[in-house]
Structure 1
Amino acid sequence: MRKGFLTFAAVGLLATGSMAACGDNGGSSDEAGGSNAKKPKIGVILPDSKSSARWEGADRKYLKAAFDAAGVESDIQNAQNDKTAFQTIADQMITNGVNVLMIVNLDSGTGKAVLDKAKSQGVATIDYDRLTLGGSAQYYVSFDNEAVGKLQGEGLSKCLTDKGVKNPSIAYLNGSPTDNNATLFKNGYDSVLKPKFDSKEYTKVADDSVPAWDNAQAATIFEQQLTKAGGKIDGVLAANDGLGNAAISVLKKNKLNGKVPVTGQDATKEGLQNILAGDQCMTVYKAVKKEADAAAELAIALAKGERKDTGQTVKDPEGGRDVPSVLLEPKAIYKDNVKDVVADGYVTKEELCTGAFAKLCTDAGVS
């Protein structure tokens, strides 16, 4: 999957090389982000605000802060999971003079169309968080998403062991089938859990993807899984905190919450509160500020006609390209280290430790 792999724990590690604004081999305006004389302006399209709280609660503010600190004009918009709106926003940004476009695609087809149009107009592009398969982005900035999935698989196994569950029946709530990240997460947790299914140590009773990461659909899907399994599901591999919370809502109705380990991802306030309450066994923390800062650094360089060497690439399996990439390292979060997410500033104690969660925070050492 990756070539020359390494993970970046912080930004500021990228070597800079100046790029000419013209020429056929690596110096055209579509590769370098346009003429150095053009005032830098960066457009960002976020995917939605429902699948995860991170997009509006974290990515937007961190990206804007990074651009503002560099004195670079930016336009950050949200497509709200609407493919037509996604394309319209991109067209407007190109028309309004952005010289770098950063996208979180809704699917690779829509993303590719936007990236190709931007390239044809001399606008440099970055895939942010999700790789656009068959796309043309100059850079890809994300986390090691197979490592995210591996942490989820290991987390579910740990929680089942801690509860002393023998031959557990496992249900999968995978992410959107059109999101390449969901495929990578599944590759990661399958690497841990498939050997257990093969050896009959665990039994997989359900394996469903959730269209568009839609939490309402996830609840319906999980309710059907639970019914089909005769009420016997011992562990839920949920691909993010939103899907995890959907499963937990169904478990609560059946008085099974806290008895059935549920995984997650994104370390959202809701996910962390579910962990503190004992309803969710773990989540995966991805330090979004580091991701946003790394992407902003690359975008600003492109807007100024420069290229930065990331030192690693990711293979696009559809396009066959080795895409220059920055991949950050994820971290597993359980009840005993929820405090690490607060200490990092991603969620504040005031946001997390409200009402009944105040004592739970104290018990977990959150300060």
Structure 2
Amino acid sequence: MGTVRRSVGVTGAVVSLGLVLTACSSSPTPSATASATSTAPSAAPQVNAADFTSDFSVMKQLTGLASQGKGMVGVLLPDTTTSTRYVQYDAPYLTKAFEAAGLSSSQFKIDNANGSASTMQTQAEADINAGASVLLVDPLDAGSGAAIEAKAEAAGVKVIDYDRLVTGGPADRYYVSFDNVAVGKLIGQGEVQCLTDWKVSKPNILIMDGDPTDNNAKLFAQGYNGVLQPYFDNKTYVKVGEPAGTWTPSVAATTFEQQYTAHPNINAVVTPNDDNANAVIAVLKKDNIPAKTFPTTGQDASLPGLQNILTGYQCGTVYKPIYLEAQAAAALALYLRAGQTPPSTLVNSTTTDSVIGKQIKSVYTTPIWVTSANMGATVVKDGAVTASELCAGNVAAACTAAGIS
């Protein structure tokens, strides 16, 4: 959550905007309403979702699309508190992607709602009124997100769900994210490997999920539970419990303390992101649990998470290179802005919107499981964190041992 933090679920019908706005995978199948977008001519670049790199060179192939396109691309990001990614990574990477493709600063606009759904609604309305032709929407909740998208569709604006699937949105839209079931599988596989590497005897595992209202959290759980269930079934591992999930670290810490008090035999935890893992690790350190004895997992490749890995309190983290997701979303927006159907090499999957019962055309990028062994070749090499930041203080010796300098 990254987490990534979370994608958005929905609990009912699409919520209207009120007076402010009144008056895993198969080949993508365009919806009937997609006919309003013309098929890309043979000369159009056929960008592949697997081709994006950290140097943004693929975006330079899309300058022709940028010159053909009309209208502004509006980007609506959710907040600055639940994850640092939106300020540190998404906004600058999206900016870099659009600029590399040739858009000027007046041709795209990136807003952050700072945790307020009503602020995002106002930002969306401003973009639509300013002539936006494409909106990237990463909302705080499904109701407001779906209402924004309905308003955009009514105004002829193309919509892309960015990172979070907005269940209940219009059928003719796109979704860009990482394969979140694959993220969960990496977490589960990482837990299994760590239990072996750390020689944990008779694993008694507590599974801690993300927020139950979050569609991404459900997909993560689908992935790691799918990996772990056979071990529970054959009695190799014991599943102690799976309490109600959260993305709030303080709540995760309280939940873990309660579970650990009630079940002192717990000796491993599946934690779905680095922030929640860090909260659990703080409790373990308070209880003087030694390093490399009590596995935890994570995702987001946050600085605390990476340091916890190096010091032996976390098995690994799912690294989701946001520069891949940002470029995929920007490329998709450029095709739509130019009135062209994105190629199947870019739109590489579909995702089920369970509320409307439709398959949403999707672009999935690939996550990476990061441990001490490949940290230098992944997050450090990509510049997601610098060696000086990572190796500060008591982490220096662990960095040296991992070949990071």
- 1:284–1:333 contact (8 Å) kept in structure 2: yes
RMSD of aligned alpha carbons: 2.4
TM-score by length of 1: 0.87
State the Cα deviation string for residues 210-258 of structure 1 (Å, max 9, x = none): 44x22222222222222222x3321111111111111111111111252
Matches within 5 A, 1:284-295: 284-295=318-329
Work out whether 1:306 is the aligned partner of 2:347: no
3-state secondary structure, aligned to 2:208: strand
Counterpart pick for 1:88 among 109, 122, 136: 122
In the alignment, structure 2 segments of 5+ residues that lack a partner are 1-23, 29-47, 53-57
> What is the deviation of 1:176?
1.6
Work out whether 1:316 is the aligned partner of 2:353: yes
State the Cα deviation string for residues 161-203 of structure 1 (Å, max 9, x = none): 1222233111122112222111111000011111222222222
Provide the rounded CA distance (Å) in 2 between the counterparts of 1:195 and 1:81. Answer: 39
> What is the deviation of 1:108?
2.4
- 1:51–1:215 contact (8 Å) kept in structure 2: no
The verdict on how the C-alpha distance between 1:166 and 1:294 changes in structure 2, with shifts beyond 3 A counting, is same
> What is the deviation of 1:355?
2.4
Match of 1:152 in 2: 187
3-state secondary structure, aligned to 1:189: helix
Counterpart pick for 1:219 among 244, 253, 256: 253
Counterpart pick for 2:148 among 98, 109, 114: 114
Report the residue type matching 2:146 in the other structure. K
Report the residue type matching 2:270 in the other structure. L
Work out whether 1:71 is the aligned partner of 2:103: yes
Provide the rounded CA distance (Å) in 1 between the counterparts of 2:126 and 2:211. Answer: 27
- 2:349–2:362 contact (8 Å) kept in structure 1: yes
Aligned residues: 345
Matches within 5 A, 1:229-248: 229=263, 231-248=264-281
Match of 1:23 in 2: none
Work out whether 1:49 is the aligned partner of 2:76: no
The verdict on how the C-alpha distance between 1:269 and 1:226 changes in structure 2, with shifts beyond 3 A counting, is same
Match of 1:331 in 2: 368
Matches within 5 A, 1:56-205: 56-69=87-100, 70-72=102-104, 73-136=107-170, 138-205=173-240
Matches within 5 A, 1:19-34: none
Match of 1:28 in 2: none
Match of 1:22 in 2: none
> What is the deviation of 1:359?
2.7
200-209 or 263-272: bigger deviation: 200-209
> What is the deviation of 1:338?
1.1
Provide the rounded CA distance (Å) in 2 between the counterparts of 1:10 and 1:106. Answer: 30
State the Cα deviation string for residues 85-124 of structure 1 (Å, max 9, x = none): 3323322332333221111232322321221111112221
Provide the rounded CA distance (Å) in 1 between the counterparts of 2:245 and 2:108. Answer: 32
Of all paired residues, the percent bearing the same amino acid is 45
Provide the rounded CA distance (Å) in 1 between the counterparts of 2:167 and 2:145. Answer: 8
Ranges of 4+ aligned residues in structure 1 off by more than 4 Å: none
> What is the deviation of 1:274?
1.0
State the Cα deviation string for residues 116-164 of structure 1 (Å, max 9, x = none): 1111122211011111122226211111111110010011111111222
In the alignment, structure 1 segments of 5+ residues that lack a partner are 20-35
Provide the rounded CA distance (Å) in 2 between the counterparts of 1:295 and 1:357. Answer: 36
Provide the rounded CA distance (Å) in 1 between the counterparts of 2:69 and 2:99. Answer: 20
TM-score by length of 2: 0.79
State the Cα deviation string for residues 293-327 of structure 1 (Å, max 9, x = none): 01011112222322212243223232222222111
Provide the rounded CA distance (Å) in 2 between the counterparts of 1:100 and 1:339. Answer: 37
Provide the rounded CA distance (Å) in 2 between the counterparts of 1:89 and 1:225. Answer: 42
> What is the deviation of 1:37?
7.2
